[in-house]
Structure 1
Amino acid sequence: MQKQEINMKIFQLLIYLFISCQTAETLDQLTDLGQNVTINCDLDSNEVYWILLKQSDSHTVILRSFSKSAHYFNKTFKKKYSVQSKHRLVIYNITVDELGVYYCMNKDTPPKLSTSTRLHIIKPTELTKFSLYLNETLVKCIQHNETQWHFIIIISALLNALIIVITVVSCYSKERLKLQDTDLQQTKHVYLKQHEEMSRVQYTAVRFSTCEESEDTRVI
């Protein structure tokens, strides 16, 4: 029931605004897209409504401002609007959707309107257009370079990984060859030692046999 009364009150305010906005004083305020804008409310009231009138003559109630808080009529407005002291309205990151005439209105009967503010976009000059073109070109160039650098970084990482793998495999192969060479040297050493020992045994046997023959010969 209370919500219906509030909606009816807002409807009455909008009707009054539609009738009286043609005679209300309007101030023009220039801004650039993407900028933040602050609009003053010159009403000395504890509670006010902030209303946006667009070029299509459609009225949008943005919020209801209290002395220390605000009630938003749409949750999405919290990202675009906020209220400072003395009911000043702050608009963040201006886009074409926020262009229009802003009214501050109290809830008296009949309601009282503040001086309205019409937001305009500054028309770009040739120098501004050229500056915007340079900025866009610079952004595209940076994005293109970032893409190239990302590709180079990926290729470099892959090459480094490949070098590491090749180094590890090479070191492993060298260790295996070193171990094989060590085993071969040890085997060769053992073989030579065994061969030398066998040669000594044969040589000794031959000398012993020769000595016996000499003794036999002396006996005879």
Structure 2
Amino acid sequence: MRILQIQLYILIWCQAAETLDQLTDLGHNVTINCDLDDEDVYWVLQKQSDSSTVILRSFSNPTTAFYFNETFENKYSVQSKHRLVIYNVTVDELGVYYCMNTDTPPKLSHSTRLNIIGKYRHSALFKNPTQLVYHFSECQNQTAVNSIHQNETQWHIIIIISALMNAVLIIVTIAKHRYIVTYISTIHMHIHTVQVMYVMGNGYSTSLCFS
């Protein structure tokens, strides 16, 4: 029941608590401070994917601690002023650590987020506002250049297509004009032939009448 209460307090507290970042490399030992002056405190680990885990209870005697899981005895220990020591850090120990007293409701310390150096650098690549503005400006410039190149390419395509369409239209117009000229010439030839035949036919008929 006490553990459930602690987890509930942690859930409420972590929404507004100030979190300090502590960086380390995997395999190193880490010491996390507790800013409470109480005789007894709990150490709690909060992970993003899991609920809160109560690690141990530390007493005024730094050599005395009660572990809520026997596997924690080889991973954690406490020193004076309730400082928590984590041995041979792995990804399983990464998360947010709290120390809290045994009062009801309990008082919690500032939280400490334990993270590995490489992961932190990756996540905080542009936390510097100057870098962020510069990066944003670079992105804008690159986007503008890409947009200009894209627009130029589109205009080139439009010009080429327009030129091809004009060429096709000219060819069709010329071909149509030639066809019309040829057709008219053919009609003229047929008319001329008919006229010649008509004249010849009339001349032949006249000669028969006079004979």
TM-score (norm 2): 0.54
Amino acid at match of 2:105: P
Quote the offset at 1:10 in angstroms. 2.1
Q: 1:113 aligns with which of 104, 108, 112?
A: 108
Structure 2 distance, partners of 1:58, 1:14, is: 7
Deviation per CA, 1:170-194, whole angstroms, max 9, x where unpaired?
xxxxxxxxxxxxxxxxxxxxxxxxx
Q: 2:26 aligns with which of 7, 23, 33?
A: 33
Structure 1 distance, partners of 2:102, 2:14, is: 16
Identity of aligned residues (%): 75
Structure 1 distance, partners of 2:98, 2:6, is: 11
Amino acid at match of 1:66: F
Structure 1 distance, partners of 2:38, 2:3, is: 17
Structure 2 distance, partners of 1:87, 1:104, is: 8
Where 1:12 maps in the other structure, the secondary structure is helix
- Counterpart position of 2:44: 51
Give unpaired runs (5+ residues) of structure 2. Answer: 122-211
Q: 2:65 aligns with which of 42, 65, 70?
A: 70
**Does residue 16 of the first structure (1) align with residue 6 of the second (2)?**
no
Give unpaired runs (5+ residues) of structure 1. Answer: 1-7, 126-220
Quote the offset at 1:62 in angstroms. 0.3
Deviation per CA, 1:123-164, whole angstroms, max 9, x where unpaired?
189xxxxxxxxxxxxxxxxxxxxxxxxxxxxxxxxxxxxxxx
Structure 2 distance, partners of 1:117, 1:101, is: 5
Structure 2 distance, partners of 1:61, 1:13, is: 8
Greater shift, 49-58 or 77-86, is seen at 49-58
Structure 1 distance, partners of 2:90, 2:50, is: 18
Q: Figure out how many residues of one structure are paired with residues of the other and give that number.
A: 118
Structure 1 distance, partners of 2:38, 2:89, is: 27
- Counterpart position of 1:89: 84
Structure 2 distance, partners of 1:13, 1:77, is: 18
Deviation per CA, 1:108-128, whole angstroms, max 9, x where unpaired?
111101011001111189xxx
Structure 1 distance, partners of 2:100, 2:49, is: 20
**Does residue 42 of the first structure (1) align with residue 28 of the second (2)?**
no
Amino acid at match of 1:47: D
Where 2:97 maps in the other structure, the secondary structure is strand
Structure 1 distance, partners of 2:78, 2:117, is: 25
Amino acid at match of 1:61: V
Structure 2 distance, partners of 1:38, 1:114, is: 15
TM-score (norm 1): 0.52
Deviation per CA, 1:8-33, whole angstroms, max 9, x where unpaired?
12211211111111101100011000
- Counterpart position of 2:95: 100
- Residues 7 and 51, structure 2, Cα contact 8 Å, conserved in 1: no
Quote the offset at 1:57 in angstroms. 4.0
Query: Over aligned residue pairs, what C-alpha RMSD do you find?
Result: 1.3
- Counterpart position of 2:53: 60
